[in-house]
Amino acid sequence: MLLYRSSKVSKSIFIVFLFVFTMALSSMSIYAQQKSHYIYEDSKLKYIQLPSSNQLFVYKYDQNGNIVKIEKVKTPSVVVPSKVSISDVSYEVIAYGVSPTAKSVQFPTWTELNGQDDLVHPYVEGEKVAPGIWKATVLLSKHNMEKGVYYNDVWVDGKFFGGAVTKVEDNVRVSLPQEIGYSAGEYEVVVTGVGKDVAKIVMPVWTTQQGQDDIKHVEAQKIEDGTWKAKIKFSDHNYETGTYITHIYAHDKHGNQMPLYGGETKVKPEVKAPPAVSYSSGSYEVIAYGVSPTAKSVQFPTWTDLNGQDDLAHPYVEGKKVAPGIWKATVLLSKHNMEKGVYYNDVWVDGKYFGGAVTKVEDR
């Protein structure tokens, strides 16, 4: 009888223990869920919220999707980059710790230059990206692309929430030739001092002949942090000589763009001949670069310094087209009395003088 009562008591104790243990597990599960609140953006972990404290962990990624930094942010707070490049086009203002009941979060921004002349009315409305987290994008173009100090305030349902300051700097430098010969086939544009948040650099290029009929948008390649490069090929512009216009635009990750630069490069036609050749070689070539693609006749008159133009062939030697915009002819020394000394090499295109070069024939 005692044994039976003891067994019954043990069973009751076990049931009570199981109930308490189950409740404890349930509480631990709820606590664990509250303790770790994971927020994803574009399929990547962006935030970890800790509701039991006023801290938040923010994950930063590079353009390849690799984690480069984990920042600890206290809430409530307003976070902005301390410095950005004018080439970044835009930057983000993020408010952390906003009340979950907030209906309107506004982000007024203005520059130190000329007071609040660039303050947008009504204020820019923010976007809720996660519980307690709102953000807005500041477009530099909306602030006259000014350099210097930008003031970023945040207002929640009509009440001031906080603010932060960003400094916009212009470290962008552009390198491209002012003049280049057509024989180069292309010229290179290098942009340095580009902001780290720039998504792409695009260069619209066209020649002054016939307006923008040949415009081409060349996308630059990122060589290293801050440095982008592009090659402008003459073949993309009807093999034209003359003035090439190069503009440069920076684009951010949102698709916004901003002009950074506009300049000119003069592409010059050329006549190339060897400056010196050996008498024993018997001949040399003269090449004309940058000839109009519509040219029908390219002639190569040549004569020596000795006895004037007594050795000038008539009619002039007809050149041969070897590539778009490129013609050549071969000068035979035998056609010039096998003379040594200075040879003058002219080029005429459809009856108009194009250019010339000089070659010295030496006895060596």
Q: Are residues 201 and 261 in the same domain?
A: yes
For residue 55, being part of any structural domain is answered with: yes
For 119, residues 6+ apart whose C-beta sits below 8 A from its C-beta are: 108, 109, 110
Of 203, 237, 268, which closes a domain?
268
Burial profile 320-332: b = 16 or more Cβ within 10 angstroms, e = fewer: eeeeebbbbbebe
pLDDT tens figures, 178-206:
999 999 999 999 999 999 999 999 999 99
Q: Are residues 264 and 274 in the same domain?
A: no
Pairing mode, strands 55-61 and 44-50: antiparallel
Contact 260, 246 (CB under 8 A): no
Of 52, 74, 96, which closes a domain?
74
Q: Are residues 322 and 294 in the same domain?
A: yes
Q: Are residues 274 and 353 in the same domain?
A: yes
Six-digit token pair at 260?
């950074």
Sole residue written with tokens 């004309």 = 288
pLDDT tens figures, 257-299:
999 999 999 999 999 999 999 999 999 999 999 999 899 999 9
For residue 102, being part of any structural domain is answered with: yes
C-alpha to C-alpha distance for 337 and 256, rounded to whole angstroms: 68
CATH number, domain with residue 310? 2.60.40.1930
pLDDT at 66: 85
For 129, residues 6+ apart whose C-beta sits below 8 A from its C-beta are: 39, 41, 135
Q: Are residues 248 and 216 in the same domain?
A: yes
Domain that includes residue 51, residue range? 34-74
> Which runs of consecutive H residues, i.e. helices, occur in the chain?
2-35
Of 231, 249, 268, which closes a domain?
268
Phi and psi at residue 296, to the nearest 5°: -105, -30
Q: Are residues 291 and 311 in the same domain?
A: yes
Q: Using the 8-state DSSP alphabet, how is residue 220 labeled?
A: P
Q: Are residues 58 and 100 in the same domain?
A: no
pLDDT at 48: 72
For residue 177, being part of any structural domain is answered with: no
For residue 8, being part of any structural domain is answered with: no
Six-digit token pair at 162?
């906080």
For residue 9, being part of any structural domain is answered with: no
For residue 19, being part of any structural domain is answered with: no
Say which amino acid occupies 270.
E
Q: Per the structure, how many domains does the chain have? A: 4
Q: Are residues 276 and 259 in the same domain?
A: no
For residue 206, being part of any structural domain is answered with: yes
CATH number, domain with residue 240? 2.60.40.10
Residues (pLDDT < 70) of the chain are: 1-37, 39, 47, 49-54
Q: Are residues 248 and 306 in the same domain?
A: no
Q: Are residues 245 and 235 in the same domain?
A: yes
Q: Are residues 156 and 201 in the same domain?
A: no
For residue 311, being part of any structural domain is answered with: yes
C-alpha to C-alpha distance for 76 and 218, rounded to whole angstroms: 44
Q: Are residues 97 and 60 in the same domain?
A: no
Six-digit token pair at 292?
């109009």
